Structure formats: structure tokens, C-alpha cells
Amino acid sequence: MSQANHISLNSRCAPLQAFRASLFHCLRDPGHQGDADAIEYFEDGLLLVENGLVTQIGYADDLLPTLPSELEVTDYSGKLIIPGLIDTHTHYPQTDVIASYGEDLLHWLNTYTFPAEQQFGNEQHAKEVAEFFTAELLRNGTTTALVLATTHPSSVDAIFEVAQKRNMRLLAGKMMMDRHAPKKLLDTPKSSYTESAALIEKWHKTDRLHYAITPRFAPTSSEVQLEMVTKLTKEHPDAYIHTHLAENEEEITWVKKLFPQHRSYLDVYDHYGLLRERSVYAHCIHLDDADLRRMATTGAAIAFCPTSNTFLGSGLFNCKQALEQGIRVGIATDVGGGTSFSLLQTLSEAYKVQQMLGQQLSPYQAFYLATLGNAKALYLDDYVGNFEPGKEADFAVIDYAATPLTKRRIATSQTLQEKLFAMMILGDDRAVHASYIMGECAYLKHTQN
Ligand code: GUN
Ligand code: ZN
């Protein structure tokens, strides 16, 4: 048996591969009490991959004798393989302003975000950041993400080009924004329509890529631009819709002033026909019962961004309530309002937010959210999210012994739940030993031994 020791991005999809490790994945939502029937776990497991797709998982003892004798098994014994983590909302142009001291959302946007986004008029800069950003996703075990670019069409090309090169399943779109931002960042209703339409034509459903029609949020789009968003979504019903909603009290007051005729912030989007399957709304902290019901019936998804919501002081998202309403809820880093690329750290903060609301987030449900739950939120669960046969073999190899503290804490853990919980509370990029895209190693941590 051999340790994986090289990174191969070009030789895609070997015919047959086998990976030995502990294996964990979810079959459905384990709920806040952590229903054990909703998960599968093989302490000494084998993951079989053919042409980049999962063909079988099970116990190594059962599957090893069925393999061709010459097949080299990649041995990660002692480590844990989980489905590739999925990020349902993140901004690649905000990579360089992560951890900028911000009073609140609107101050933070004006002070750090808008200046950073203006640099994406420079194609070289966009390419360099897109390379770094996607490498950072992989370093954190994240294999799929829904990403905002800037208003510059070339910023969308930059992120799709690098995702295509890395063979990642990735969703992205050009920000549409025609008011209330620096002039250099503004488009117009017409240019935002023609540029988005051209990008959809160029990228949507190319390889593993999907296009997301991306009005930044209601305050930065005129009514005429929102009509263009409607037109685009009608012309491209299988493209995604991606925006922000009800994050911050001041923002909500602003929306009331700008759109006085609407019942609520959500109702603005609803009026323009933007609530539907494959629409993703980041934050949604301050929704009322009517809003929540509307999200549930339309099949729209919420991206819960715990590190950003606490960092910007926006509020505590009631995840349990939204899930109980039957809304598709995903979890997201929201870099750079969010403070970490790591979905493990994001789960840790999500757990703490639920604690502040007197609620629970079981370790099984937390890992469900970051994998199959997020795949369902993005309507991608036919492709990714767990190891059912036929799914794409995107996965992360978690090293329990990545730090002296995790090693020590895991040594005293009795159950799988304890181990998962310790890794989501204490883990971060250091816990990710390797990331695989369709069975190919896309990131391997450099270790000293
Ligand atoms: N609302 C509108 N734009 C943004 C953004 O860039 N980040 C966050 N967190 N919220 C937003
Ligand atoms: Zn955001």
C-alpha cells in the first residue's frame, strides 16, 4: 500500500482507485438530536472510486478481497475521510480584507470591501487572488463553493478559469450593482444584463461549473436593474440566484426606505420573482414568520454565516427554527465578512450561536450541514454531498492528530460523535491532511515525517 505523495491536477479520473481510512457520511439530516440511522460510519473502511465517481463504500475486510490484486490501495488508516466540504456563500474578492476591523456591515462595506473590490478591474490581480482563494478552499477541505465575484466580468472569468483547471464543482456570478457604491464598481441595468447573459452563455454547465445571477443586495440595485434580474432568471431558469437578505438592522431600515411599497425585505425579492429553487440568500437573520413560510414553500435556501454574523455584530441566526420550517439551510464562511475559510471553524461558531439561542447543533447534524445539507441547499445532492454510489468522489482526509491538542483530545474520546465534535470545535485547516477532487489528490499537506 502506498501513501499518496503527489498532487496531480491534470491526469484526471483514474479508472479504479481505493482509499482505506475511517469513513463517515450522512444519508439524510440526523436532526439536532443526532439520529444515528441517518449516518454511515466504517471504522476501518474502504472507498472505491472509478473514473472519478464513487462505486462502493464499506468495511475494508469485506471489500479488499474483491479488488484486483495489482491495485494499489491509498492507505489513510487512522485518519477520517468525509465528503468534501461545501461552502454555500463566500466572496473571493474579499480574501485580502478578511479580519479587517469593522464596526458593522455598512461601515465595513464602505471602508474595506468596496476599495478591495475596485482592484478587480485589474485582470492580473483577479487571477492571482482566484488562484490563492481556490487553493485556500482546498487547504480547508472545501471542494465546492458558491462564490461572489465583483461587478467586473473578468473577475468571473478568473474564478471560473481556475476552478475549471482544478476540476472543481463551483458556482459563481458577476455582481449586479448600479447604485449606492463607488462609481468604479457600478454597472448599469443594461450592462449588468448583457454581461451576465454573456457569462451564462460562456460558463453555465461547462464542466463542473454553474452560473449564479448575483444582484449584491436590494439597496445596491435600482428597480430597473431588478427587472433585468427578473428577465435573466426567466431566460435562464436553471441558473442560480444568489444575494444577501436581512443581515443587519440598519440595512433593513434602509431597504424599507428604498422600497416602501413592500411588506418586507424578502418581499422585494419575491416581487421580482427571485424566490425559487436554486436561489440562495445569505444571512436571513431577521425574517418574520411569513417570510420563513415563503422561503419554505418556494424552495429558496438560506446560507447561515455564523462567523460573519458575530464578527459584524449582525445577530444570531435561528438555524433550528428555519430547519423545522422545512427551509433548505446551508452553512457558509462568508469570507471576508466571515473570519475563516475553515468550515470546521464555521461549524464551531454555528454551535456557539445555537447555544446562545438555547438550542443544540449535534455533531452529526453539523457535519451533515457542511456536506449533504449544503449539497441539498444548492440542489447539487445528485452530484456531491455524500458517498452514495454514482456521486462524484470529492472528499477530505481529516487528521485527528493534526495538532498536539487534537491528538490528545481524540485519544480520550470514546465515541464517533465525541471525535467529530472535538474536530469541529478544535479543528481548522491544520486538520485537513488532503483534499480530493473526483478521486484525484488536489491538496496534500506537507508534513515533517
Ligand atoms: N451585503 C451586501 N454586500 C455584502 C457583503 O459583501 N458582505 C456581507 N456580509 N453582506 C453584504
Ligand atoms: Zn456575503
Q: In CATH, what number is assigned to the domain containing residue 131? A: 3.20.20.140
Q: Give the number of whichever ligand sits closest to the CA of residue 87.
A: 2
User: Where do the H-state alpha helices sit in 357-389?
Assistant: 363-368, 374-377
Q: Give the number of whichever ligand sits closest to the CA of residue 308.
A: 1
Show the domain range for 327: 85-341
Give the Å distance between the CA of 394 and the centre of ligand 2. 25
Q: For 61-86, write each residue's pLDDT tens digit.
A: 999 999 999 999 999 999 999 999 99
Q: How wide is the angle at C-alpha 412 spanned by C-alphas 407 and 414, nearest 5°?
A: 120
What ranges make up the beta strands (E) of 151-235? 169-173, 175-176, 209-215
Report yes or no: 394 and 169 within 8 Å, Cβ to Cβ: yes
The verdict on residue 390 lying in a domain is yes
Distances (CA, A) of 350 to 133, 327, 369, 387: 23, 17, 10, 24
User: Backbone phi, then psi, for 186, in 5-degree steps?
Assistant: -85, 140
Report yes or no: 175 and 186 within 8 Å, Cβ to Cβ: no
Q: At what angle do helices 404-411 and 416-426 cross, to 10 degrees?
A: 160
177 and 304 within one domain: yes
194 and 45 within one domain: no
Mutate to test the pocket of ligand 1, among 97, 103, 104, 109 (most ligand atoms within 8 A of CB): 109
The verdict on residue 281 lying in a domain is yes
Q: How far apart are CA 292 and CA 233, in angstroms?
A: 22
Question: Counting every residue, how long is the chain?
Answer: 449
78 and 103 within one domain: no
Looking at 341, 371, 393, which one is the last position of a domain? 341
What's the whole-number average pLDDT of the chain? Answer: 96
pLDDT at 4: 41
Residues of the chain below pLDDT 70:
1-13, 448-449
Give the Å distance between the CA of 180 and the centre of ligand 1. 13
Give the Å distance between the CA of 337 and the centre of ligand 1. 7
243 and 154 within one domain: yes
CATH code of the domain covering residue 58:
2.30.40.10
pLDDT at 448: 63
The verdict on residue 75 lying in a domain is yes
Q: How far apart are CA 308 and CA 96, in angstroms?
A: 15
The verdict on residue 65 lying in a domain is yes
Question: How does 176-189 read in b/e, with b if 16+ C-beta sit within 10 Å?
Answer: bbbebbeeebebbb
Q: How far apart are CA 391 and CA 27, in angstroms?
A: 13
**Count of CB atoms situated within 10 Å of the CB of 75:** 16
Looking at 341, 363, 392, which one is the last position of a domain? 341
Looking at 313, 341, 369, which one is the last position of a domain? 341
Mutate to test the pocket of ligand 1, among 90, 97, 100, 105 (most ligand atoms within 8 A of CB): 105
Q: At what angle do helices 189-203 and 223-235 cross, to 10 degrees?
A: 20
Give the Å distance between the CA of 91 and the centre of ligand 2. 6
50 and 108 within one domain: no
> Alpha-carbon torsion 280, 285, 290, 292, what sign?
positive
* Residue whose C-alpha is closest to residue 247's, from 188, 179, 168, 305: 305
Q: How wide is the angle at C-alpha 235 spanned by C-alphas 233 and 240, nearest 5°?
A: 35
Judged by DSSP in three states, 157 sits in helix
Beta bridge partners of 118: none
90 and 113 within one domain: yes
Q: Give the number of whichever ligand sits closest to the CA of residue 177.
A: 1
pLDDT at 32: 83
The verdict on residue 361 lying in a domain is no
Judged by DSSP in three states, 23 sits in strand
209 and 324 within one domain: yes
279 and 200 within one domain: yes
391 and 302 within one domain: no
> Alpha-carbon torsion 396, 416, 367, 18, what sign?
positive
203 and 142 within one domain: yes
For ligand 1, say whether the CB of 265 is within 6 Å of any of its atoms.
no
The verdict on residue 38 lying in a domain is yes
190 and 154 within one domain: yes
Beta bridge partners of 243: 281
Mutate to test the pocket of ligand 1, among 113, 254, 265, 281 (most ligand atoms within 8 A of CB): 113
Q: How far apart are CA 431 and CA 140, in angstroms?
A: 8
Judged by DSSP in three states, 42 sits in strand
The verdict on residue 209 lying in a domain is yes
The verdict on residue 52 lying in a domain is yes
- The pTM assigned to this predicted structure is 0.96
Give the Å distance between the CA of 244 and the centre of ligand 1. 7
Beta bridge partners of 349: none
For ligand 1, say whether the CB of 105 is within 6 Å of any of its atoms.
yes
Q: How many domains would you assign to the chain? A: 2
409 and 329 within one domain: no
- 131 exposed, middle or buried (CB, 10 Å; 0-12, 13-18, 19+)? middle
Give the Å distance between the CA of 308 and the centre of ligand 2. 8
For ligand 1, say whether the CB of 217 is within 6 Å of any of its atoms.
yes
